[in-house]
Amino acid sequence: MALLTPFSKVPELNTATVLLVENEEELQSKLANALVQYKKDFNVNVRLARKLPLPVENKETRPRIDLIVFVVNLLSERSLQSVESSLAHLHSDCFLGKVCFLVTDARCGSHTQERLVSVRKLAASHQSPVLCAEHRTVDGVNAAAVRLLNILKVSAGMSPIATTALYLSSLTRCSVTSDLEED
Amino acid sequence: MTPAPSKQREMDQEAQSSQSSEAAAKAVLLEECEEQFGLLQKLQNEIILTDTEANDDQSNEAVNRLIAVTSELEQWQEMEPKLLTTSPEVLLAVGKEELQRLNNQLKMVLSCSQAKLDAQKKILKREQTWQAEKKEALNAVCEKITRLQLENEKSEHSVLQDMKRKINNLKDYHSSLMEMLSDMLAEHFPLPDPQGNGTKKKRAAAYDAEMNLISLSEIIERLTNKTLETPHDPYVITDDTFWPPYTEMLLRNGIATRHPEDCNKIRLENFFGI
């Protein structure tokens, strides 16, 4: 079974590659545009996919992937399921800082809350961060892009020496806490 | 796994800083870059080798993480800080850039932590007022509890005592009222003086002969006793012992009423309607 491994290729100069995995393909293209257009010092390669495993044909030409972002739309059940099945195709070394979860529509309705909890549990079990994004406005997409760029920078190794992807993921990993009662 | 990333990062950083150096220093940097890149390739080959040898055993992620973190830690402990290059222009440019970036970031951190601090202070204040309210409520409830307990503790004996006390109070009040009533009646409504009207024309003697006029207090007493003892027949017969002006006065002031059929009977009027 071909797993996506983190370090099997040499990285390119001053370039970071991010892979956006989304079942619905709603946010992918918008986010990709925002990522590429944002003013930054390094080049960003954005690759899009619906799910893992990635097609074998591109394997040679594909650059090393620095960050894998799983976009989960909380309004549909299939989104989460496809992400869960895709996770099986990742090498377990990827979870040391190269995986990030992005959820959208976290504020609409009650089913989304349950799914959000399950996404957070999933992320907590893999010690990866969860970002919440608002994908319907331009500002929301830009904000999500900026946050992703920050994480990407670190996982591509472009941050000052002491910040490694592993360290960042330990800092930002999702923790599932019990709900506090409000008085 | 982890040695390669650190080298890669260093190399990337160097690659980045090479953009901002001058031509002469550029050459030096490029040389260093080439060197690092060579190292990178070597390490990468090693990685690929180990990857193909030990196929992914899907071991526990936590264990993986632990191994990665400990080996990273060892790396950091071994690593000695070294300058990129001894060329002063490069160092100056890089240093300036880094410091400015650091300055901006620290400003952001400062404002962020200030905002957080303010928010926390607000929360603290709110919680304190909440706590004060709850404490007050608690005190009030405790007081009420002690009061109720005290009341419950009153035994039958004490209830009896209370009752006796109240009854005595009422009796005293009743007797004082009666005294006052009798005093007042005696003062303002005396028995007609038999000698007072002594004129031959009025034939007061005829009056006297039938004496035994009873006083107003006596009349009222008879009326009240009759009402209280025989409520079904509260009528008192007005015979000659009742001095007519007094009976007239009682009747006119609404204290007594005649029997509807028999004009010789009177009874006490109902008081409780007033």
Question: Which residue did the predictor score with more confidence, B116 or B14?
Answer: B116
Domain-located, residue A94: yes
Residue B13's pLDDT band, with cuts at 50, 70 and 90, is low
* DSSP letter, residue A26: S
- Averaged pLDDT, A1-24: 76
Name the residue with higher pLDDT: B273 or A182. Answer: B273
For residue B5, the chain A residues in CB contact (below 8 A) are 7, 157, 164-165
| Average pLDDT of the residues in B246-265 | 83
Complex ipTM, two decimals? 0.72
According to the model, what pLDDT value does residue B259 have? 83
| Interface mutation vs chain B, best among A67, A92, A126, A158, most B CBs within 10 Å | A92
* pLDDT, mean over chain A: 80
Residue A12 lies in a domain: no
Is residue A20 over pLDDT 50? yes
Contacts of A11 in chain B (CB under 8 A): 8, 12
A14 and chain B in contact, CB less than 8 A: yes
- How many separate domains does chain A show? 1
Name the DSSP class of B268.
E
Based on the number of CB atoms within 10 Å of its own CB, is B104 exposed (0-12), middle (13-18) or buried (19 or more)? exposed
The answer as to whether A119 is a domain residue is yes
**Tens digits of per-residue pLDDT, B120-133?**
999 999 999 999 99
Per the model's pLDDT, the better-predicted residue between A62 and B41 turns out to be B41
Q: What is the mean pLDDT of chain B?
A: 80
State the amino acid at position B46 in one-letter form. Answer: E
Question: Which of A60-64, A92-96, B270-274 has the least mean pLDDT?
Answer: B270-274
pLDDT of residue A93: 76
pLDDT tens-digit readout, B167-193: 999 999 999 999 998 888 888 877 776
Residues 43-102 of A with CB under 8 A from B: 91-93, 95-96
Distance (Å, rounded) from C-alpha B83 to C-alpha B95? 11
Taking contacts as CB-CB distances below 8 angstroms, the residues of chain A near B2 are 166
pLDDT, position B5? 59
Distance of CA B149 to the CA centre of its chain: 21
- Whole-angstrom CA distances from A124 to A99, A133, B232 are 12, 18, 92
| Over residues A29-53, mean pLDDT | 84
Rounded Cα distance between A136 and A151, Å, is: 22
Helix (H), strand (E) counts: chain A: 5, 5
What band does B58 get if pLDDT is binned at 50, 70 and 90?
A: low
- pLDDT value at residue B121: 97
Give B26-34's long-range contacts (Cβ < 8 A, gap of 24+).
Answer: B28/B85, B28/B87, B28/B90, B29/B84, B29/B85, B29/B90, B32/B84, B32/B85
Q: Is residue A4 part of a domain?
A: no
| CATH number of the domain encompassing residue A21 | 3.40.50.300
Structure confidence at residue B126 (pLDDT): 96
What are the pLDDT digits (tens) for A99-148?
888 888 878 777 888 888 888 888 888 888 888 888 888 888 899 899 88
pLDDT-derived band at A88, boundaries 50, 70, 90: confident
What does the pLDDT look like over B141-172, one tens digit per residue?
Answer: 999 999 888 877 776 778 888 899 999 999 99
Range of the domain at A91: 17-178
Cβ <8 Å between A41 and B16: yes
